[in-house]
Amino acid sequence: MALPGLFLVLSACIFGLNHVEATQDMSNLCSNGLEVIYPELDIDKCLTIPQNMRKKISHVWGAPKVYFPAADEKSLYVLVMVDPDAPSSTSGTYWRHWVVTDIKGSALKKGREVKGTTLTGYYPPTPPRGTGFHRYQFILYQQPAGRVMSLPGPENPPRGKWNLNAFIETNVLGPPDAAVQFRTQNYED
């Protein structure tokens, strides 16, 4: 009985699952069937990127395909990719890597290239040298019907020190439908 509890505590420490702001229910992190597909790597659970794939994920591959078989075909979705460890895991802010809205549920069910309204273009996971492992989280939200999504703040807000919760509140997003994350570090470390 104590062993499963210890495993959960260790997993939370290793993956930092409790970092996400308290206003977000991330209990479905690394569950609910979200899959991020790079050319040689399918990410459908929390994992650490193997050393031989780190340069590819940072400098060779472009934006992944995203597959979510439980998507409602008639709904639209919002996909957010963030690094909660930049500038540090205790800052409470995120590095915004990718934000796409108006993604058709029917496309998510088929695992296609992400198409919609791009609020922030894809920026690959590139943790700086010497900063250790960073988590990269892909979070999928169902978009409220008829709602036009926007980034709060200035017209071109910086990617660093991004307030994910302000984005969620501004756009009246509910809890995430699904999420997945991976950890990687600079390929030269």
Domains of the chain: 2-184 (3.90.280.10)
pLDDT digits (tens, 9 = 90+) for 125-176: 999 999 999 999 999 999 999 999 998 776 667 898 898 999 999 999 999 9
Mean pLDDT over each residue of the chain, to the nearest integer: 84
Distance from chain centroid for Cα 168: 14
Short-list 148, 145, 146, 137, CA closest to 171: 148
Note if the pTM is more than 0.75.
Answer: yes
> For 26, left (φ over 0), alpha (ψ -120 to 50), or beta?
alpha
pLDDT digits (tens, 9 = 90+) for 63-81: 999 999 999 999 999 999 9
